[in-house]
Amino acid sequence: MMTELHTEQRKKLLIVDDVELNRAVLAEAFHEEYEILEAENGQIALDCIFAEANTLAAVLLDVLMPVLDGIAVLEWMASKNLLDRIPVFTLTSETLGETIDKAYELGVVDVIPKPFNPVFIRRRLSNILELYRHRRDLQLMVQHQTAKIKEQADALRYNSFTIIETLSTAIEFRNSESGEHIKRIRDLTAMLLRVLAEMHPRFELTHERIQLISEAAVMHDVGKISIPDQILGKPGRLDPEEFEIIKTHTLRGCEILDSVEQLRRSEIYQYAYDICRHHHERYDGHGYPDGLIGDEISIWAQVVSLADVYDALVSERVYKKAYSHDAAVHMICSGECGVFNPHLLQVLTSCAIDIQNQLYADSPL
């Protein structure tokens, strides 16, 4: 496999010409600066280029040769994307015509006329190779900086996920619910998003986006940290005043997310913030805190809302027993738990069996 090396290692010059005297003249002109490689026809040149692709500074290529001509060599190099890395100078007694046009079209950097003027050739080759060195050094610098930025982004994402897991686990235990609720919401959100992506490509739910949304989903109830214990752990139905207080967990959660600077700088933040604020909005506008309606609610907030309602129904809580899987799906689809996007109800019913078998197989549903 051919890989790019630093320009300091490109110290070889390949001279391809079927006339030995021409090769000798060019070798004499450049032997002090480069290690000279020679080929008497195009086929030998191809073998040499393949073996030395990472060390060649340039190729001086005759056009008219036996076995394989210079144009065929150029076509092969072009097919392997080598002409951007290895400058090729065409050697020919022609300066016009279809052959020269073809050579330029394929990507030669210059045409050197025969008979050769060594001083002229050295100057032209030196100037062009200096440009190639600068370009390759710039490419290497960009690659290094890109790799560094990716490394920093990966570290930021990892740290953001760690913060999310820590905060979410804290609220689950404080809310007297199983820590498994976090994993179930994340996994159920991912499954619903994958099915939605297949059924409705217009939402542009890529694999990376689904992963980010699923991780962000575990932050949906982080604002409950600010809710008083007597309300959060109340075994019975909340009165209207208590319900108004618990509704504030959506906005309080956003305040918590805003307070974590490292999280604000991560790509997961926009999803976590939106989900935290809007996972209790309803498709008919009867949700909270903003009373959004229909597609005003982001599709990821809608999916997390559906996942949260389903998991709440099939889980035992201090204020209720667990419903069966079939009962939970029926209640959601019949509107007993509020109005949901018809597309999401379609998604839920299409993967209901997978939800039960893959995510809740150990639960007594």
Confidence band of 2 (pLDDT split at 50, 70, 90): very low
| Least confident among 142-156, 223-237, 311-325 | 142-156
Helix (H/G/I), strand (E/B), else coil: 37? strand
Q: So what's the pLDDT on residue 5? A: 41
Query: Checking DSSP bridges between strand 56-62 and strand 88-92, what pairing results, if any?
Result: parallel
Query: Greatest CA separation found in the chain?
Result: 101
Assign 3-state DSSP to the chain and report helix, strand, coil percentages, each to 5. 60, 10, 30
pLDDT of residue 165: 65
Structural domains of the chain sorted by starting position, each given as residue range(s) with its CATH number in brackets: 7-116 (3.40.50.2300), 149-359 (1.10.3210.10)
The predicted-structure confidence for 287-329, as pLDDT tens digits, reads as follows 999 999 999 999 999 999 999 999 999 988 777 788 999 999 9
Report the pLDDT averaged over residues 274-284.
96
Measured distance CA(333)–CA(349) in Å, rounded: 8
- Complete DSSP assignment for 267-303: TTHHHHHHHHHHTT--TTS--SSS---GGGS-HHHHH
How confident is the model at residue 160, as a pLDDT?
A: 61
CA 287 to chain centre: 34
Contact between 13 and 49 under an 8 Å Cβ cutoff? The reply is: no
Residue 322 buriedness (CB in 10 A; 0-12 / 13-18 / 19+): middle
Beta bridge partners of 111: 90
pTM over 0.95: no
Report the C-alpha gap between 181 and 222 in whole angstroms: 13
